[in-house]
Amino acid sequence: MTKEIIAFQGEKGAYSHLACEETFPNATIKTCATFEETFKMAFENENLKIMVPIENSLAGRVADIHHLLTKYKLQIYSEHFQKVEHNLLANVGTELKDIKYVRSHAQAIDQCQKIINKHKFKTIISADTAGSAKDLSLSKDNSVAAIASKLSAKIYNLKILKANIEDDMSNVTRFLIMGKKVNQPEYKKDKKFITSCIFRLKSIPAALYKCLGGFATNQVNLTKLESFSVKNTFDQTNFYLDIAGHIEDQAVQKALEELGFHTESLDILGVYEAAPFRQKK
């Protein structure tokens, strides 16, 4: 049996890496420098999957991902909701009183303001959380701490000065597991599914209103609808849509038929089982 390969953007120890380990515990893990490289790797190798963050419950959608969805048109196999737990990491032998600076990704810094303000840490913005931990482990500087995952502490042999330092404990990132092969699950009425697509409207009055009417008429729930500009123009807009239901459900089919009538383009990104996390909400 061939071992699964899954890639993500960032350094080892990133929250994307943590999501990979929770979802594919026995897979071979590959790191990529950019999201573009991650998508390209999956586009060129149909046996490889990628773990891509698409939105965070606090920070909103992840920049660049929507444009890469339209560029590479990979298929969504499944989704995963990863709880984000920030930790204050330092080199072994360091105490909290030694820390004067804290470094991490801008979002992680923003999400841990209580501890930063309490101890009057000066902040250093870095490209990502795991990269901050890696750089810290190489510097051996006891005046600097990093905000990153517990996995980063393990990988880079760092000490956890304080665990779960995030201001909001409900911080969750939604990931999409994607690849080049079409992998549509069989429709079963007792299971919950998500159908995701990207569409571009025809340039006519009330086009969005008209294309969404089919979902209301057929009583199909939309779990997400968001717009993003077509690259290099302010004149056209694409829409990303998550539908609660399977594409083989008759109601979903009718709603999509009506959507298609009012669009210039309609690309189905995937049909997949709704993650158990959605049932907890």
pLDDT at 232 (0 to 100):
64
> Which of 250, 271, 267 is CA-nearest to residue 182?
271
- Condensed to tens digits (0 to 9), the pLDDT of residues 205-220 reads 888 888 899 999 999 9
For residue 243, the cross-strand partners are: 195, 222
Least-confidence region, from 18-22, 143-147, 229-233, 236-240: 229-233
Q: Confidence band (pLDDT; 50, 70, 90) for 202? A: confident
> Mean of the per-residue pLDDT values for the chain?
93
Q: Could you give all domains of the chain from N- to C-terminal order, each with its CATH number?
A: 5-84+171-179 (3.40.190.10), 87-162 (3.40.190.10), 193-280 (3.30.70.260)
pLDDT at 92 (0 to 100):
95
Secondary structure (3-state) at 34: coil
For the chain, the distance separating the N- and C-terminal CA atoms, rounded to the nearest angstrom, is 37
Q: Which residues are catalytic?
A: 173, 175
Q: Confidence band (pLDDT; 50, 70, 90) for 1? A: low
